[in-house]
């Protein structure tokens, strides 16, 4: 799966926000995921309007944009040394560590997951308020 800068297509007015052009395979069941368009604008995690892929089995696969992908991020487990995507975990009890800053495979191709650590080797927790998506992107998420 190639992560590439999206080229605007006349059929999709949001094409510039899409970086992953083909659905990744689901890591749970192996079937191709489907595009479920964009998150709701009022998404409480600062992800409003982001494109994402989800499998028919119900598994979230990955966001379809380049937000959080930086050249300084660690590489994931994929064979072609793809960069990971920097994210913030939600704050509910379903998360490994609520509000933890972590890295995942940028295009959903592997199960890479690694925490960002502070200078003391502790998991870095996002302390600020969750802001509008553009503000979160400017902060590197």
User: pLDDT digit string (tens) for 38-69?
Assistant: 888 888 888 888 889 999 898 889 998 888 99
Cβ atoms of 69 and 103 within 8 Å: the answer is: no
Q: Assess whether 76 and 135 both reside in one domain.
A: yes
Residue 105 reports pLDDT greater than 70: yes
**Taking the model in full, what pTM does it have?**
0.79
In a domain, 1, yes or no: no
Residue 9 maps to a domain: no
Backbone angles phi, psi at 73, to 5 degrees: -70, 155
Band of residue 10 on the pLDDT scale cut at 50, 70, 90: very low
Q: 128 lies in which domain range?
A: 68-140
In this structure, is residue 4 part of a structural domain?
Answer: no
User: Is the pLDDT reported for residue 93 higher than 90?
Assistant: no
Tell me whether strands 34-38 and 101-105 are parallel, antiparallel or unpaired.
unpaired
Q: Are residues 38 and 73 in the same domain?
A: no
One domain for residues 55 and 23: yes
Count of domains for the chain: 2
């Amino acid at each position: 799966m190639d992560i590439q800068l999206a080229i605007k297509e006349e059929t999709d007015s949001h094409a510039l926000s899409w970086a992953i052009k083909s659905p990744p395979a689901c890591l749970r069941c192996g079937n191709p995921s489907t595009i479920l368009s964009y998150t709701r604008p009022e998404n409480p995690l600062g992800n409003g309007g982001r494109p994402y892929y989800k499998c028919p089995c119900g598994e979230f696969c990955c966001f379809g944009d380049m937000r959080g992908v930086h050249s300084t991020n660690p590489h994931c487990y994929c064979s072609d040394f793809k960069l990971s995507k920097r994210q913030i975990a939600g704050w509910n009890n379903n998360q490994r560590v609520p509000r933890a800053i972590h890295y995942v495979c940028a295009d959903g191709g592997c199960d890479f997951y690694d925490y960002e650590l502070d200078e003391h080797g502790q998991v870095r927790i996002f302390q600020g308020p969750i802001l509008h998506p553009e503000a979160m992107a400017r902060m590197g998420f």
